Structure 1
């Protein structure tokens, strides 16, 4: 089936309304209602949402930078455009033609390519597209591809890969991101219990698994977990002053960080760029593995 024409997400997306629309398809009986009921996976040909006139607001950029460990600058942090794209991710997942409920989507990998720095206050267009699911041993993978443009020029792009457990699709699963011989040890960061709520306030990602022990337990976690994109941002912030303006960052999310927590961060430079890892100090189990390269 052919992909539909791009849909426009206008105005300031409402966080509460978006989360409600995302949750309804997981509610029995309600998920059969028109406008909530999901389409068949076999009929899904792709979906694109666009936001125009998006501005990287100074106050929001500064609040995000403070939570994630970036310095205050006149350009946005490398990972910040993901915040501008997140409402589009939720719009796609909440769309009735998208065949999977947002609840249960697991962010497993993320790739960011910055082609140039984006100025604070710059007016941008943000577009997110998702195509047909890819095979995975435990279900399917969905690639949410985002492009941020200014004046017709692509300034930043990313691919957020989500796993949806369940019915597979035909095909041979592709290998995920591999980071051979990741660095170990390094410095330790103490992450507070309210980190998920703090990051949600600056990112708009108020998934219940990140907020409180009670809401996390309702979704299968022993207590709240840190956002994967916070661990990405904090890891990038630690080496941000040594990265070029044009760079690609790839990360794979491994074991969740249960809050509060102490984590270990290590980074190593080689010919291709940087490799970095966020691990559990006791046994070295990885929470996040990443690398940088030239775009």
Structure 2
């Protein structure tokens, strides 16, 4: 894999969105600096951010949107926000062969090794390797490591797996995450039409599929959908006070959650951890399935 590229400053949402959109604009996608390289030549890419601050105001805004209590340590899912600009930098890099628009987040695994305090400074690195085969295209694993700044301990890790539909690569597809006997029933949550815009404001993820009916329809959805990482965060928030500081959370994203809408959420504890599910109250079909284990 080539050397890690350093992303400096605080990436801007508008700049990120424009860079992500350019490779799908006819004509523009052939320009130098925008044109994507061949998938056959891609052997990996990595970006890093150094000494990223964990500001209380931003943490509390995120906690409020996702249902976490306000504490002196960050919510379990919060470090993903500090890695998200690296995901977008990789997807927008001409060396990355696939446009960011159209990448589908299908699985996520988070391992927290310890609690991260508000006010800490963190070094964040995200790397992606060669694509893996999938029945409908290819899978790309974005692996993030979050450490205390200046060479400190590793506090948090994650793997975000994205599906790119289309031509696959050689090899046998690996089975995806299976959550056996997920819980059913539970509580119902009514999600407002502006949830995608509210989450975008605190996360920096302003993908048009999450914002308005018009922008979502332009990308093939009948109306806007909730962010997958919001559904994960809200699911974890419901049980976070019963999880250890060192924990692994695995989720598979299934059907999209259309906004406005209502979802059911249920969680069950057993000897190895928690199993949880966000489902449709109409027919029980899953939006998200997950499980936790001690790390």
Q: Normalization by structure 2: what TM-score? A: 0.99
Deviation at 1:14, TM superposition (A): 1.1
Matched with 2:232 is 232
Q: Give the Cα–Cα distance (whole angstroms) in 2 for the partners of residues 253 and 13 of structure 1.
A: 27
Aligned positions of 1:121-270 closer than 5 A: 121-150=119-148, 151-270=151-270
Matched with 2:32 is 34
Matched with 2:2 is 4
Q: Give the Cα–Cα distance (whole angstroms) in 2 for the partners of residues 44 and 152 of structure 1.
A: 31
Q: Give the Cα–Cα distance (whole angstroms) in 2 for the partners of residues 212 and 53 of structure 1.
A: 35
Instruction: Say if 2:113 is the partner of 1:115.
Output: yes
The RMSD of aligned alpha carbons is 0.5
Deviations, residues 39-82 of structure 1 (Å, cap 9, x unaligned)? 11111110000000101110000000000000000000000000
* 1:90 counterpart (88, 94, 100): 88
Aligned positions of 1:38-57 closer than 5 A: 38-57=36-55
Instruction: Say if 2:101 is the partner of 1:103.
Output: yes
Q: Give the Cα–Cα distance (whole angstroms) in 1 for the partners of residues 169 and 6 of structure 2.
A: 29
Aligned positions of 1:273-284 closer than 5 A: 273-284=273-284
Q: Give the Cα–Cα distance (whole angstroms) in 2 for the partners of residues 121 and 129 of structure 1.
A: 25
Q: Give the Cα–Cα distance (whole angstroms) in 2 for the partners of residues 17 and 31 of structure 1.
A: 16
Match of 2:51, SS?
strand
Match of 1:22, SS?
helix
Q: Give the Cα–Cα distance (whole angstroms) in 2 for the partners of residues 152 and 239 of structure 1.
A: 29
Deviations, residues 198-224 of structure 1 (Å, cap 9, x unaligned)? 000000000000000000000000000
Matched with 1:17 is 15
Match of 2:94, SS?
coil
Deviation at 1:182, TM superposition (A): 0.2
Q: Give the Cα–Cα distance (whole angstroms) in 2 for the partners of residues 123 and 282 of structure 1.
A: 44
Matched with 2:71 is 73
Match of 2:57, SS?
helix
How many residues align? The count is 293
Q: Give the Cα–Cα distance (whole angstroms) in 2 for the partners of residues 195 and 261 of structure 1.
A: 10
Q: Normalization by structure 1: what TM-score? A: 0.99
Deviations, residues 122-145 of structure 1 (Å, cap 9, x unaligned)? 000000000000000000000000
Unaligned runs of 5+ in 1: none
Q: Runs of 4 or more off by more than 6 Å in structure 1?
A: none
Q: Give the Cα–Cα distance (whole angstroms) in 2 for the partners of residues 51 and 253 of structure 1.
A: 27
Q: Give the Cα–Cα distance (whole angstroms) in 2 for the partners of residues 87 and 156 of structure 1.
A: 17
Q: Give the Cα–Cα distance (whole angstroms) in 2 for the partners of residues 56 and 285 of structure 1.
A: 37
